[in-house]
Structure 1
Amino acid sequence: MLQMNPDKVCFIVLRARELQEEDLIENPEQDDDEDFDLAHEEAFDELDGHDPQEANPLHEELEGFIDAMSEDEQVELVALAWLGRGDYDKTEWGDALEAAADRSNQRTAEYLLGMPMVADYLEEGLDTFGLSCAEFDEARM
């Protein structure tokens, strides 16, 4: 069962969608030459050698928000994205959490924001638990 506040996930979804609108999160449909569906075992390693994102206040806000989350929340966030991406199903939630904890490092925000469809994945992950961002009110944050 998801332990973190779903409003935190919805805040990330909202901001990630704003970044997508500004083309600051890559859209996999824009570049057919790259494979954006990295296996989660390799994904953190793929961060090495990539240029950091251009400075953008919205990107920095979202990155700071994720970085400020507890380690347990960051682990859940990564596992939730993997769940929404289809790497795991709800019955494998414990396995997803364990894998995310094993791969946990100081680059969680960079990893998640490098996922082209992170907003969709997080929403799908929430939906797996019967949760939704439909009633999300940013004022509650």
Structure 2
Amino acid sequence: MDLLTPLDTFCRLILRAKELEAQVPTANEVQDADDVDDYDDDGDQALSVLDDDLNDGVEEEVQALLDDLADDQLAETLALAWVGAGTYDAGEWDEAFAEASELDAEQRLGELMDMPLLGGHLEAGLAAFDYNCDGVGQTD
């Protein structure tokens, strides 16, 4: 399979998506307060020190990278993520790409932005077709 999207674009997306996944959740994102003692002795939220302004910046960068893709590239990205997640295997590429192509751009973007471990899934999807990011973007 030949990529429609430049490999360096995928590699940049993988890097940023992994950065987003690695971010510590802010106090407002903690889902279950019973799991965490999130208040200090004064009743103030102690987790507020974990707030990270980079959360929004990295998420916006991932969104911008996806927004810059053409329709067929966005479908390719979603199909690769599905292959990497195990929804399809590499031998079912045509079906994965066809299903991703049937969605409109907003649905594709939503699915990608909501996908847990997007970076890892894209990386695994690329690997299923013998692509990787080793040495991509490096200047020697």
Question: TM-score when scaled to structure 1?
Answer: 0.70
Structure 2: how far apart are the matches of 1:60 and 1:19?
Answer: 10
Count of aligned positions: 112
Tell me what 2:79 maps to: 79
Structure 2: tracts of 5 or more residues without a match: 26-30, 33-54
Question: TM-score when scaled to structure 2?
Answer: 0.71
- SS, match of residue 105 in structure 2: coil
CA offsets, 1:110-131, max 9 Å, x none?
3212111111110010001101
Q: State the Cα RMSD in Å.
A: 2.4
- Percent sequence identity over matched residues? 33
Tell me what 1:117 maps to: 117
* One-letter identity of the residue aligned with 1:102: E
1:101 and 2:95 matched: no
CA offsets, 1:38-82, max 9 Å, x none?
xxxxxxxxxxxxxxxxx7122112101101110010000000000
- The Cα of 1:16 is off from its aligned counterpart by 0.6
Tell me what 1:49 maps to: none
**Native 8 Å contact 2:78 2:112 kept in 1:** yes
Tell me what 1:40 maps to: none
Structure 1: tracts of 5 or more residues without a match: 25-29, 32-54
Tell me what 1:21 maps to: 22
Q: For residues 109 and 23 of structure 1, do their structure 2 counterparts lie closer, same or farther at Cα, with a shift above 3 Å needed?
A: farther
- SS, match of residue 4 in structure 1: coil
Tell me what 2:60 maps to: 60
Structure 1: how far apart are the matches of 2:138 and 2:112?
Answer: 21
Q: Which has the higher contact order (CA 8 A, sep 6+)?
A: 1
- SS, match of residue 56 in structure 1: helix
Larger of the two Rg values belongs to structure? 2
**Native 8 Å contact 2:100 2:108 kept in 1:** no
